[in-house]
Amino acid sequence: MRNENEWIRGAFCRGIEIRFPVPAALLTNPGFPAICRYMKPIPTATLLEALRWRYATKKFDPTRKISAENWSALEQALILAPSSFGLQPWKFFVVQDPATRQKLSAAAWGQTQPLECSHFVVFAVRKNLGTDHVDRFLGRIAEVRGGGKDALTGYRDVMLGSIEKARAGGYLDAWQSRQVYIALGQFMMSAALLGIDACPMEGLDPGQFDEILGLAAQGLTTLCCCAAGYRASDDKYATTPKVRFKAADVVSYL
């Protein structure tokens, strides 16, 4: 029978909430995976303050840039985003070239956020997901966690079965597209917690974006984009009160 410390380690790594004190010596033990330790929570007031502070920034200050440290964290927010089966059917294009940004602005009905923001990210989804992507993902699992791909045969069959069912039902690309919006939400929330403004954008011509960025040849297509940076001091929307339905109108407890 495993001892208590072994049980705690296994439970943490499986995402099980522990409701009794864990010895400090265990948490600082190098043998206890850092990623499986307690997550120090932020105050609820901090979370709500960030949510109330953020808004879809219409006008950015082009003189202010996101620091390398903060951008590295936001990049990780994209990479660490969850997805169905963990398949990550996406690619994120951080557009830095001014000339390309000009073209994308024109393809977004002349909106200026792509030109003024610090970092401009295009969110693309992989079309017609298939066996090659699944096998690439399984190879990455074996690389990160150790072991061989053969041990993942059952998981592979489940994933491919779900993909083929979605393909036959005509909703494969729609299913994968929904995963990309999870990444967008995580990116925006992370930005807000860092005091960085963001503006999600769907007002664009996906076909033109695909052509400008050469996405079709990569089996990708544009879904949306997000500008990130710092609000201009004269963006009137920064002080406009948020309008949300009352909790009772949108949240039901059953």
Residue range 44-129+172-237, CATH number: 3.40.109.10
pLDDT single digits (tens) 154-196 = 999 999 999 999 999 999 999 999 999 999 999 999 999 999 9
Which tokens hold the place of 203?
């007002």
Phi then psi dihedrals of residue 41, to 5 deg: -75, 150
pLDDT interval class at 20 (50, 70, 90)? very low
- Interior CA angle at 220 toward 91 and 76, to 5°? 5
Task: Determine the 3-state secondary structure of 92 from DSSP.
Answer: strand
pLDDT interval class at 22 (50, 70, 90)? very low
DSSP for 202-249 reads: --S-HHHHHHHHT-GGGTEEEEEEEEEE-B-TT-GGGGSPP----HHH
Ordered by start, the domain boundaries in the chain are 4-36, 44-129+172-237
Model confidence, pTM: 0.86
* Residue of 179, 183, 152 whose CA lies nearest to 166: 179
- Output the 3-class SS for 4-38: HHHHHHHHHHCCCCCCCCCCHHHHCCCCCCHHHCC
- How far apart are the C-alpha atoms of 193 and 232, rounded to whole Å? 19
Q: Residue 2: what pLDDT?
A: 45
